[in-house]
Structures are given as C-alpha cells and as structure tokens.
C-alpha cells in the first residue's frame, strides 16, 4: 500500500521509551519511516478550515504532525542506541500521518482539501500528511488499476465519487480501530 520504497516493517513498535509507533517501516537504505494512523471516516473534526479566504489544515492535522515531530526528536536523540541494539538507522527517519477522508467534510471540495494538505506538506521536511483516500488512490494508480487510470480518477469533479467503495470502507473501518 505504501509503495516499493520499503523493504519491511521493524519488529518492534516501541523504539523509544514512552512512544509507540503505529507502523514502523524500513526503507531500502535501512532507515526508518513511521506511519501514524489517525481516524479516517470517524474523524469528528474537520481536516481543513477557512482562514483569510484560503483552506488550511485544521487543529487535528497540526496535533498529529506535532506528535510525529516529537517521535522524530525522540528517535534522533536515541539514534546510537537504536542503531546499536536494533540495527535501524533513525538519522534520516521520516513520517507520514494518515488522517481523515474527504467524505467526512462534504461541504469542502476534495480538490481543496488535497491542495491545502499539499501546500502544507511542501513546507515540511520530514513529515507528510495524507488522507486515507489519497493513500488508496495512490496505491490504485501505482498498481495500474483501470479505475485509477481513467480520467475521472484524476479529477473527482469529473465524475468519480468521493464516497469510498465497499472495499475501501472496510479498510478504513479497520484502520479507524487502529488509529486514535
């Protein structure tokens, strides 16, 4: 689901005292990439909000990014011990936050949500924010899915439904149980 950049998952989720990583992935160069799972379809607050005429990430997105930054600081501070004991390189660690789905904020066009998060991500160096729908759409595109290859897949406004398919809903429900 996360693409060919990763060669496996770390055996332990607690690499630093007090922090438990949802999904610790190992990149091809041996460095760590952490995935933070937040709520998808049961997100109770908006992903984005209006600020001075533009869509910007809302508080839950900022809180999740702050949590990941704290994890990265802990990994940086414990780099030598983690590398010595587990053989995992944390110097170049990065993170992704999976949060929300455009269907939970139907009053905001999906394109506006994606653009607000893309703009936000462009100013971050080690943390990226994605909606679950973006992750699924990216996976479908990378697998060469016929639906993902259609023109409608690239533009929700051109006919592709914002609502998740049955398979996507099942995946999102499982991830929601895992996310906090």
Write down the domain spans for the chain: 6-178
| Token output for 126 | 């080690």
Q: Which residues pair with 50 in a beta bridge?
A: 55
3-class secondary structure for 115-138? HHHHHHHHCCCCEEEECHHHHHHH
124 CB burial (10 A radius; 0-12, 13-18, 19+): middle
- For residues 59-83, give the mean pLDDT: 96
- Tokens describing residue 38: 């937040």
Residue 51 buriedness (CB in 10 A; 0-12 / 13-18 / 19+)? exposed
pLDDT in tens, 15-51: 999 999 999 999 988 899 999 999 998 888 999 999 9
| Residue 22, SS3 per DSSP | coil
- Mean pLDDT for the chain? 84
Rg of the chain over Cα atoms, rounded to whole angstroms, equals 17
| Partners of residue 6 on adjacent β-strands | 27
To the nearest whole percent, how much of the chain has pLDDT over 90? 64
Query: Which of 56, 36, 58 lies closest to 45, judged by CA?
Result: 58
Please check the confidence at residue 168 and state whether its pLDDT lies above 70: no
| Greatest Cα pair distance in the chain | 52
Q: Which two tokens stand for residue 129?
A: 């924010």
- The DSSP H or E segment spanning 23 is strand 23-27
């Amino acid at each position: 689901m996360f693409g060919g950049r990763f060669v496996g998952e770390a055996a332990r989720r607690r690499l630093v005292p007090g922090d438990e990583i949802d999904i610790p992935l190992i990149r091809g160069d041996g460095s760590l990439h952490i995935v933070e799972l937040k709520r998808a379809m049961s997100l109770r607050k908006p992903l984005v909000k209006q600020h001075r005429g533009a869509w910007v990430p809302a508080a839950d997105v900022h809180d999740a990014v702050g949590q990941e930054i704290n994890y990265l600081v802990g990994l940086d501070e414990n780099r030598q011990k983690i590398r010595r004991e587990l053989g995992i390189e944390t110097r170049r660690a990065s993170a992704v936050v999976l949060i929300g789905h455009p269907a939970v904020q139907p009053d905001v066009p999906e394109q506006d949500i994606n653009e607000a998060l893309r703009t936000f991500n462009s100013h971050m160096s080690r943390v990226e924010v994605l909606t679950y729908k973006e992750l699924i759409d990216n996976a479908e595109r990378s697998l060469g899915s016929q639906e993902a290859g259609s023109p409608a897949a690239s533009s929700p406004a051109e006919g592709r439904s914002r609502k998740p398919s049955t398979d996507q809903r099942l995946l999102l429900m499982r991830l929601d149980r895992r996310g906090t």
